[in-house]
Amino acid sequence: MYKIGSINSSLIGEFKNLNYKRKYFNDPITVKKWKNIGHLYEKYTGELIDQTNSIPNWCNIIANTFDFKNPTATLYCMTPGTILPNHKDIYLKYKQIFNLEEKFSNIFRVIIFLENWKSGHYFEIDENPIINWSKGDYVLWEYDAEHIAANIGSENRYTLQITGIKTHNYYNV
């Protein structure tokens, strides 16, 4: 299940000129599956700024608007040519930070689009494509929702990713 919504876009601060670090996809089983079906390149994800890289305070302010327990915020810069094929998140870093056991069915994730949609920018969740978004639009999903992200355009694609523990039923708000 997932939900689409929007935050007040005036909460979004500077994100383009920050010191992003290259991230590599941390699920080798999924990467092997992708390669077996023909995704042979290595550019599976983008660059990030997270809690360990001095994330701007405006990101934490937005994270707290979702009323999650233990919210974390991560800025993502998906450069042109980056494709993240169909997958389910495993929340490895989040589980490490909060010392969580393998069972994590109460984790939610939100992707907030930091700019208006641009040609070649793509997101899909539960086989439903999402394009033509506006700055501040978001997609919220439960821990195991399958999704795809890609940037086959000519400009960077920026998102804010928020992860946290569910505190109420987000589909009825």
CATH, residue 95: 2.60.120.10
Burial per residue of 42-68, b for 16 or more beta-carbon CB atoms within 10 angstroms, e otherwise: ebbbbbbbbeeeebbeebeebbeebeb
The per-residue pLDDT for 149 is 93
Q: How many domains does the chain divide into?
A: 1
Cβ atoms within 10 Å, residue 173 = 10
pTM: 0.87
Q: Domain range for residue 89?
A: 2-172
Cβ atoms within 10 Å, residue 34 = 20
The per-residue pLDDT for 170 is 63
| Below-50 pLDDT ranges, the chain | 173
The per-residue pLDDT for 31 is 72
Give the whole-angstrom CA distance, residue 134 versus residue 138: 9
The per-residue pLDDT for 173 is 44
Closest CA to 111 of 83, 130, 85: 130
